[in-house]
Structure 1
């Protein structure tokens, strides 16, 4: 996990508690009361190396008596392409299945959040293939990042993904005998934060503060990434996210930025809420 959780998790591990918490992640000044979870998995496909000059025998049928296909070699990258297409189709299918009023729903009570819909994605973060310049690739590994809804466990999701992988592999002569390796979870796994009801006193107080300083009704939505809110909510602290900027503002990229007007707006909202909450 980012920063080895030396901040928020260390704080709650030392016993600090609060009746309500606001984590100032970039939410475009929206109040985010829930989040998805995330995990990574890898799909490893073994092929069979052959000299590149024999690629024609690898991919094309030959006349009787001349070796071809898996007798000569198997292109692992070519075998991986149907799985890439499978996960692209599943992204659409799962977002049609996993629908929620708050998380990925476009905003509540007005569908005007700036994150867009369809938060549950299967992203191919890394693709590695081949072992030698002059060989038909005998190896391919794809590392995926999966965002899933807070009402499921990551294990439920990766078990379903593996079932799809196994089903697709069963349609291929080579992969039936040499099934892909599906390894999950790897690298990182981060559970969703616990949802805070929209009628929670803290949400109402922050909404009123934002409306007071901006003249706009607060938009309630769900954060489409993970944050320290997970660790706070896991110990029973109702936690929301609210802050300037957005995940589309170059985050984790070369031109990360935060609009100054939003910094001022959020600072005023924090101040106004603190005055009312603590009075």
Structure 2
């Protein structure tokens, strides 16, 4: 059996080859939105995995946006733990007029940084994982337990391609999401979006406003936009209450928030607004589930509505979550925590320490990833990838060259150990 030290040296020696792989991935303009443009990139990954003798499963999440899962059946499946390596191939959109110093779809190395759209979020992580697997395969180091590599789409716009993998039956004893974490071992809070709608059964002309709002007017009606102001105020009160009463390790106080992000109301200046819809984004802690958070918000808003003489008879309506910010203007990202006692977490910590000399930071990501869907499926999940959040989605997005190299070596050390472990499945 080849020694780990030799494999780590090969990572160093073949760094340029890894850059070529990352450059190939960056060259695919998998921007989301608009999305529906990942077929060629996924075909590239499918072929890359096939050359390593992975069995390929692929299906379309949406037309033009397929999911690719490569599977290697373990050499000792009965006694060995299975593993999912997960990443998304879609990248953040480019806005017109952005001032990029380099072509965003051409990988550029300058001052020890790798520039290009998706380098930090998260084609850098994808390239590192694929390259580490390639070197292991070439060295004849194969997994004892089943290995699934998931290349998904839709993460940037809440389309949860990873969720579809779980629905298709993919499960494992551990999942690692190679998304942006600055090489920290992280969990995350959760996010759910929702729409709150107020609607009047009657539409009044603007000239009737006096009759609705002044004494003796005799008209029972209301402006939906104005009534929504009461709902927003009630949400702010609940948000402040959460800041006082809720907390979670790894999060600053007040991280549970209710953001009134978009408001749509009225039909024309000549009419009193008969409809108003508020789009909110809710952040919650890993100790909670989005179903419970939804119930709490609805109860609070309904109580506020009962205190209003018009709203108590025209109750706000709710619509939560969604499967796509593009298709139905909604999303869910479940929360998850990392168990430091899990054998896989400890192995990853050891691999990180082997390469970096110090233990990996353990923390909670301030953003969200597809890792929540893996955890929601009952899989112990770790967020661990290269890149920093200030570079994700940024103009002139870049990734530290040395960090990418060390991340690749860390994953090599982890996989080398994981692949050869047997007789410990029950301990996991």
* Whole-angstrom CA distance in 2 between matches of 1:37 and 1:191: 5
- CA RMSD in angstroms, aligned pairs only: 3.2
Q: CA deviation at 1:166?
A: 1.5
In the alignment, which of 305, 308, 316 is matched to residue 180 of structure 1? 316
Partners of 1:256 and 1:11 lie apart in 2 by 34
The unaligned stretches of length 5 or more in structure 2 are 1-60, 62-152, 323-329, 421-428
With structure 2 as the length reference, what TM-score do the two structures score? 0.51
Q: Bigger CA drift: 179-188 or 148-157?
A: 179-188
Query: In the alignment, what sits opposite 1:191?
Result: 334
Q: Tell me the residue number matched to 2:176.
A: 22
- How many pairs align? 256
Question: Is the partner of 2:303 in helix, strand or coil?
Answer: helix
| 1:255 Cα deviation from its structure 2 partner | 3.2
Which residue in 2 is equivalent to 1:10? 165
Alpha-carbon distance, 1:164 to partner? 1.0
Relative contact order higher in (CA < 8 Å, ≥ 6 apart) = 1
Distance 1:245-1:86 versus aligned 2 partners, 3 A rule: farther
Quote the offset at 1:143 in angstroms. Answer: 2.0
Which runs of 5 or more structure 1 residues have no equivalent in the other structure?
A: 106-116
- Conserved 8 A contact 1:50-1:72: no
Q: Which residue of 2 aligns with 1:36?
A: 189
Distance in 1, Cα, partners of 2:226 & 2:285: 32
Pair 1:257–1:178, CA change in 2 (3 A): same
Q: Which runs of 4+ in 1 moved over 4 A?
A: 4-9, 53-59
What displacement does 1:220 show?
Answer: 0.9
CA shift for structure 1 position 181: 1.9
Equivalent residues in 2 for 1:264-275 (5 A)?
Answer: 264-275=405-416
Q: State the distance in 2 between where 1:122 and 1:239 align.
A: 26
- SS of residue paired to 1:274: helix
Aligned counterparts of 2:298 and 2:396: Cα–Cα separation in 1? 36
User: Cα distance 1:30–1:91, how it changes in 2: closer, same or farther (>3 A)?
Assistant: farther
Check if 1:259 corresponds to 2:399. Answer: yes
Q: Summarize deviations over 1:82-133 as a string: whole Å, max 9, x none.
A: 211222232232233231224x25xxxxxxxxxxx54322223331100123
Q: Secondary structure at the match of 1:259?
A: strand
Q: Per-residue CA shift, 1:158-210, capped at 9, x if unaligned? A: 121111112111222211222222334554444334x3311323222322333
Alpha-carbon offset, residue 237 of structure 1: 3.8
Q: 1:133 aligns with which of 251, 263, 269?
A: 269
For the 8 Å contact 2:334–2:376, the answer to whether it is kept is: no
Give the whole-Å Cα distance in 2 for the aligned partners of 1:143 and 1:38: 13
